[in-house]
Structure 1
Amino acid sequence: MQSPFIVELNEQNFRQVLEGSMQAPVLIHFWAPMSQESTQVIPQLQELAQQYNGAFTLALLNCEQEQMIASQFGVQALPTIALFVNGQPVDGLGGPQELQAIQSMLANHLPSQDELDIKQALELIQTNQHGQALALLQALPDDLKQKGDVKLAIAECLLETQDFEQAKVLLGNIPLEYQDNYYKGLVAKLELHEHSANSPEIQSLEKQFQAESSNVKLAAELALSYHQVNRDQEALEILWQFLSRDLNALDGEVKKHFMDILAALGQTNPLASQYRRKLYSLLY
């Protein structure tokens, strides 16, 4: 299995691999083809290393091929598992083991799955994959989601995925000790959105539409202006007022604008799903 978290240990790299335990723990699995118990567990260990996504490195040592290294470690029986942290052995298991026993040993020395999810989410944020990061963060237990640093990360994801209302609520409940430059930057981004979302141009269109609420061309113009500043619910609602009465309103332009906004929101957006169902109720 090709993975940066799984290595074949040999004389050329074993010192380097052990030095790597200064950054992340190294789990060495001593095995040999003649020992069925030691070979059978390898796929499970490989899958475990993938699941932990870099929280530890799995090093596989074939004791038949690397007898000198095996003797240096004093391996007496196969399979043997040894966990190294900061270059030193800190735990281990000898003889055939259930995978659950290995997981329990790792749990004593490695971050929890929730901590790993937070770490992965922060990495996703760094690469602008805010939607994926948000899904990870929102799946965390409530007590973790109440932590100030996690709240800030969720707020950033909400801003970047244009859920400004939820972001505003979250930023309004950040503990004082977390109101640092990162927090101030997020607040500034929210304020910039709110300013542009309520520009003089939009306010002027709103006044005109209040005076001419049956003007479909004006409604379409206001809806597009709302959409441009991510006020999509208001945009869809205005268009729906006319579309629900006439599917061909403004020679089909209203339906086109409506569909364009739904497409921009994406298939998984709850707001888009809600208005898509409304449209389908008219079509079918």
Structure 2
Amino acid sequence: MSDSPYIQEVTAENFEQVVIHGSMERPVLVDFWASWCQPCQMLMPVLAKLAEEYQGRFILAKVNTEEQQAVAAQFGIRSIPDVRLFHGGREVDGFTGALPESAIREFLDKHIPRESDSTVEQAMQALAAGDTASAITALEAAAAADPDNPRIPVALAQTHMTAGDWEAAKAALDRLPASEQDQPEVTRLLGQLHFASEAPPVQDLPELETRLAADENDSEARYRLAMGLVLQQRFEQAIEHLLTLMRKDRQYGDDAARKALLRLFDMLGDDPLAQDGRRRLFNLMH
């Protein structure tokens, strides 16, 4: 049994209390291991070191699969080391194998709250209340104190975009490491920034609609109108215009309509509009 308050041996009898109930208060990292497993022996001191270093921001729960076969079977453990992260009473992530310390830190930091996260929450509350200046000031201070927290650049980008400062928003996202660039929230924000750079001023939209009503083959008007509609979150109408532009003038802007659709679908993620739009785009192309 470890003497550390941050490391606990887990059995079938205390699993519910330590892991399920415990993860309601803070994340619990469950390490399934065995004495004969050499990679397990390599991983265990790394996990123990991190548990001490994080000082209770997560609990390390160790499950000896030789002694706790029922627990291992319950979670379908087939190869070890197998590490599962529980939070809020349920399993939320995991990894297998003896990862290097840097990779485990990255894994943990995706899920474990940092001190600067409270500042991010306060800044988002200020933003919701319309106080963008206070939100930006707080987030810049948080970034200086904790430059490795990926949540801060994302929150800064959201705040700058609300203020209409697209360049500052892009600069904030550029601070993110490459490993964070493909996260759904980042993809959504980058998509919004792209469309903001392409969109006409909102007051020009009625003129573009008038041009298109007069000439349905006005590709420039249709494309610019679609960009403006995206920025107004009128996604369904934007998709219709871009699909129509593909049918009528596929070569416009070096296949600009198809490229814009793909970017928009990435931005929308799992939205049913994106799923339906991808299907229609595929049918149109084939």
- The alignment's TM-score, normalised by the length of structure 1, stands at 0.40
* Bigger Rg over Cα: 1
